[in-house]
Structure 1
Amino acid sequence: MSDQSSAMQGKILVIDDDPIITETIEILFDSDVTVLSTDNGRDGIALAAEEKPDLILLDVKMPDMDGYETCSELRLNPDIADIPIIFLTIKNESTDEATGLELGAIDYIAKPIVPQIIKARVKNHLTQKRQRDELENLSTIDALTGIANRRRLDEYLDTEWRRATRNKYSLSILMIDIDYFKSYNDNYGHQKGDDCLRAVAEAVSLAPRRPSDLVARYGGEEFCIVLPDTELASATEIAERVRQNVAGLEQENSGSPEYGIVTVSVGVATATPSSDDFNFDTLLELADKQLYQAKESGRNQISS
């Protein structure tokens, strides 16, 4: 596949009440880009929230809800607020363009659309978004283990805590610590210690099974799993899978007097967010206290 074709891959949403515009754009991009469409702002907002497109082409002049109002509504939803928006309009006054840009649009294309121009601009914006996403991904991945880092964990916890508050469901957290890891490093060296961290990260990542579950490196030899919409009983089952997966590696650890292999202890905490005086930091603290209890109970244990 050429660089040009890969740069064109992506998903765009067209919100325009003119079916000719939508049909023209669909033909223009053919199979290079997935084109979604709707003829009104309200459905466009719902479709954007459901499909998470890479780019939105938004007509300014539409009945009921115009493009400016639609843009404002899109920016109010934190899950889709960052999706780039290009306005399509027959208007050409600088004040109209300024209004769109002030609302957060990244570009402005006048109608009637010129196929070569709209294709070039969409291609450029999709390429830029892909590059931004790649940079963002690099900044949220732990370099050693390849799983999410602490920054990504904090961002995800904040998002999922707010979502759980809105939807009134439970949020569970697992805090995981490698038992006797300092002794492991002392006995086998830091290179082997890094290899151990990578192996444990992979084993831990196999325990949760939903795309919405996040596995992250919390720091040092500690890991964390965020489980949205998960009750304590289910979270405890996942914690047991974590423990079994790591023990199943059967990786020697002479510094572990009880087991002789690498093991983990897991603390589990669950909450249903309901007030401002209890936040995800408090939930992390509860999980950490349970982790301490698991350590005190003999390690290679779960406490919930």
Structure 2
Amino acid sequence: MPKKILVIDDAPYVQQFTNALTEKGYLIFAISPGTDLYQVIHQEQPDLVIIDAFYNHSSILLKLNHLIEHNIPFLLFSDDEHIEELIKPHQLGALSFLVKPITDKQIKLAVETTLYWHTARLQLERRADNLNITIENNRKISVALGILMQRYQLDNAKAFSLLRKAARDEQCRILDVALKITENFESSLANFPSASSIANNEQEQATELLLELKYLLTS
């Protein structure tokens, strides 16, 4: 599916580089700077926005903030070679900045680079989020393992085996069992069966441990 690029400028010179991008396979649509950007973004959901940086400075800042809030990459262009010093486009979130006149090669490269780095950033953010979730989930499971190890004098491997068996019996994730154990342990501690009643036989011990764990999960 072709990438959709919104160009916020309807000046005649824009037609030159939009034609170059169309030939490259991008789906291009242009609007005038006075058009309701918020409605267009909602309707069209562009993958990239190209905007003239020097059109109505205060209005541009509002537009850029809206794009940033919706995680839409954008590149800026201007006919003033000193505009970069004025508005600091990279600090505003722009991944590329071009000065007119813009050649076909320049606009193609700028678009490809902007889309590439935006995709790379999203992937990195997702990996970081997944890593944080994994670390937090492992921490929660470790807390539950610690409860089982301390309560029943088990080593880590046996405690995890017990946790895994309970998850299979309850037909849920190990994390769900761990969260339930942690949530209910303190409130159930006063009425919890004594660990001293556990049998010496390993099979009987495993059975009684599961019964006590089931009590903990359902209390």
* Interval of TM-score (by shorter of Structure 1 and Structure 2): 0.5 to 0.7
Q: Give the secondary structure class of the aligned counterpart of 2:211.
A: coil
Q: Structure 1 length normalisation: TM-score?
A: 0.42
Match of 2:86 among 74, 89, 99: 99
Shift of 1:44: 2.3
Conservation of the 8 A alpha-carbon contact between 2:5 and 2:49: yes
Conservation of the 8 A alpha-carbon contact between 2:10 and 2:30: no
Match of 1:21 among 7, 14, 17: 14
Aligned ranges 1:43-122 → 2 under 5 Å = 43-48=36-41, 53-60=46-53, 62=55, 66=56, 68-77=57-66, 80=69, 83-89=72-78, 91-94=79-82, 96-101=83-88, 104=92, 105-122=94-111
Q: Give the secondary structure class of the aligned counterpart of 2:36.
A: helix
Q: Which residue of 2 aligns with 1:39?
A: 32
Higher Cα Rg, which structure: 2
Conservation of the 8 A alpha-carbon contact between 1:22 and 1:37: no
Aligned length: 175
Q: Structure 2 length normalisation: TM-score?
A: 0.54
Q: Give the secondary structure class of the aligned counterpart of 2:69.
A: coil
Q: Which has the higher helix share?
A: 2
Q: Which has the higher strand share?
A: 1
Structure 2, gaps ≥5 residues long: 150-155, 181-205
CA distance in 2, matches of 1:191, 1:37: 62
Structure 1, gaps ≥5 residues long: 1-5, 152-176, 204-216, 224-252, 261-294, 300-304
Regions of 4+ moved over 6 Å = none
Cα pair distance change 1:190/1:116, threshold 3 Å: farther
Q: Identity of aligned pairs, percent?
A: 20
Q: Give the secondary structure class of the aligned counterpart of 2:130.
A: coil
Give the alignment's Cα RMSD to 1 decimal.
4.8
Aligned ranges 1:1-304 → 2 under 5 Å = 10-18=3-11, 21=14, 24-25=17-18, 28-30=21-23, 32-48=25-41, 53-60=46-53, 62=55, 66=56, 68-77=57-66, 80=69, 83-89=72-78, 91-94=79-82, 96-101=83-88, 104=92, 105-142=94-131, 148=133, 182=145, 187=158, 189=160, 193=164, 200=172, 221-222=178-179, 255-257=209-211, 298-299=218-219
For 1:232-284, what per-residue CA distance to the aligned partner results, in whole angstroms no more than 9, with x for missing partners?
Answer: xxxxxxxxxxxxxxxxxxxxx96542896xxxxxxxxxxxxxxxxxxxxxxxx
